[in-house]
């Protein structure tokens, strides 16, 4: 009976350990804007559910980029929050959303998109390999400079605007989103 009891206990421990291991390695995506983000959905399908990204979603629609960002990718999107857009000078967002400014809006938005999926740990490795600063070319023709400051990924645009990654590694079916706290712009 002792052997059977020991075998049962060992089997239970193995099952518990296996479940804990599986849970730890199938970590859920972070919540964004109060909404669950699903790794099996694409960038657009997830972004529309974030209460913190309604301005970005409106801008993506106005620029005609919905089909692109819902496409195969892979993409890395540095996604500015509503607060980031609100910090722009008064009237900027409204002006950019006008049809006659579609080209400029498209350029600004694609300066937040990289044509491959780059997770934060990979970016951190590239930053380290490059001596503390790594150039990040975007689909909009901008080159962002990525750094790590006190364990936080920072991005600097060509005008010196700094954006902090506030939520990293939000996995998507066609790439990854990193939420940022500023709007990055092409060189003026």
- Distances 152 to 29, 94, 110, 146, 176 between C-alpha atoms, Å: 18, 31, 23, 10, 17
Cα 112–chain centre separation: 10
How far is it, in rounded angstroms, from Cα 135 to Cα 138?
Answer: 10
7: pLDDT strictly greater than 60: no
Smallest CA-to-CA distance from 158 within 184, 124, 126, 134 is with 184
Break the chain into its structural domains and give their ranges.
38-180
Strand order in 152-156's β-sheet?
Answer: 113-114, 75-80, 175-180, 162-172, 152-156, 143-149, 134-137
pLDDT at 14: 35
Sign of the alpha-carbon torsion through 33, 112, 117, 58: positive
Which CATH architecture best describes the domain 38-180? Roll (2.30)
pTM for this prediction: 0.83
Residue pair 138/36 in contact (Cβ under 8 Å)? The answer is no
Higher pLDDT, 116 or 16: 116
- Digit-coded pLDDT (tens) for 88-122: 999 999 999 999 999 999 999 999 999 999 999 99
Mean pLDDT of the chain: 85
- Digit-coded pLDDT (tens) for 45-100: 888 888 889 999 999 999 999 999 999 989 999 999 999 999 999 999 999 999 99
């Amino acid at each position: 009976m002792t052997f059977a009891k020991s075998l049962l206990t060992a089997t239970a421990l193995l099952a518990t350990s296996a479940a804990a291991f599986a849970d730890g390695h199938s970590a859920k995506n972070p919540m964004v804007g109060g909404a669950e983000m699903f790794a099996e959905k694409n960038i657009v399908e997830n972004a529309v559910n974030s209460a913190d990204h309604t301005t970005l979603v409106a801008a993506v629609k106005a620029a005609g980029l919905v089909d692109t960002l819902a496409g195969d990718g892979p993409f890395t999107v540095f996604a500015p929050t509503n607060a980031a857009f609100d910090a722009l000078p008064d009237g900027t967002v409204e002006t950019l959303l006008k049809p006659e400014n579609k080209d400029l809006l498209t350029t600004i938005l694609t300066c937040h998109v990289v044509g491959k999926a780059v997770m934060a740990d990979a970016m951190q490795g590239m930053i380290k390999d490059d001596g503390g600063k790594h150039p990040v070319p975007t689909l909009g023709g901008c080159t962002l400079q990525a750094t790590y400051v006190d364990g936080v990924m920072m991005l600097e645009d060509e005008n010196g605007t700094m954006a902090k990654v506030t939520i990293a590694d939000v996995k998507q079916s066609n790439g990854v989103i990193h939420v940022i706290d500023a709007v990055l712009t092409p060189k003026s």
